[in-house]
Amino acid sequence: MTPDLSMQPNASKVLSMHPKKFAVWLFIISITMIFAAMTSAYIVKQAEGNWLIFDMPTAFLYTSGVIILSSVTMQWAYLAASRDNLGQVKWMMLLTVVLSIVFLFGQYYSWIELVDSDVFFVGNPAGSFVYVFTGLHAFHLVSGIVFLIIVLSSAMKYKVHSKSLVQIEMCATYWHFLGGLWLYLYLFLILNN
């Protein structure tokens, strides 16, 4: 005899997630796995010897501050949307887009610093890994910027508000992830150089 689940408390509540949110989380997990594999490869390759020691670009420090600030403005936009402060949503989303572009320019400048320090993509694997880490992160950041612009466009059309938060929630989740990923990479490179 099977138990009657309808009589148990909370039996009718089903755990569920919006399909688009689920897709974002799957994407985040796949990116995490890629970077976990790459940081593992870095450690293995470094243990083989012949590793170039160099100072990380100072631009990395500044871009870290910019990405943290952009995460703050993204969260501010989300909170403003949940309170139906639509003017603030627009301004904070716009500021997040601007900060994300500043971050990308800072990363480009960091590559210039690397070249000026005679650290190139081709040559010693230490330099190659830094270029691959930052380049792959920048690629994902560009996808995040596209997402930010889509949410900004929706906000301009008054489609982001307390009764329609799915899009901005997904964007905020992905954006915070990208910020956290950058901080992880930066600390990883500093501690394992």
* pLDDT value of residue 19: 85
Decide if 184 is inside a domain: yes
Number of domains in the chain: 1
Query: What pTM, to 2 d.p., does this model score?
Result: 0.89
Decide if 19 is inside a domain: no
Q: Which domain holds residue 180?
A: 24-48+60-191
Decide if 54 is inside a domain: no
Decide if 8 is inside a domain: no
Spatial contact of 78 and 169, defined as CB atoms under 8 Å apart? yes
Decide if 6 is inside a domain: no
Tell me the pLDDT of the chain (193 aa) as tens digits: 555 555 555 545 666 778 889 999 999 999 999 999 999 999 999 999 889 999 999 999 999 999 999 999 999 999 999 999 999 999 999 999 999 999 999 999 999 999 999 999 998 999 999 999 999 999 999 999 999 999 999 999 999 999 999 999 999 999 999 999 999 999 999 999 8
* pLDDT value of residue 5: 52
Decide if 178 is inside a domain: yes
Residue 61 CB-half CA count within 13 A: 6
Residue 32 CB-half CA count within 13 A: 10
Which CATH number characterizes residue 184's domain? 1.20.120.80
Residues 6+ apart with CB under 8 A from 159: 167
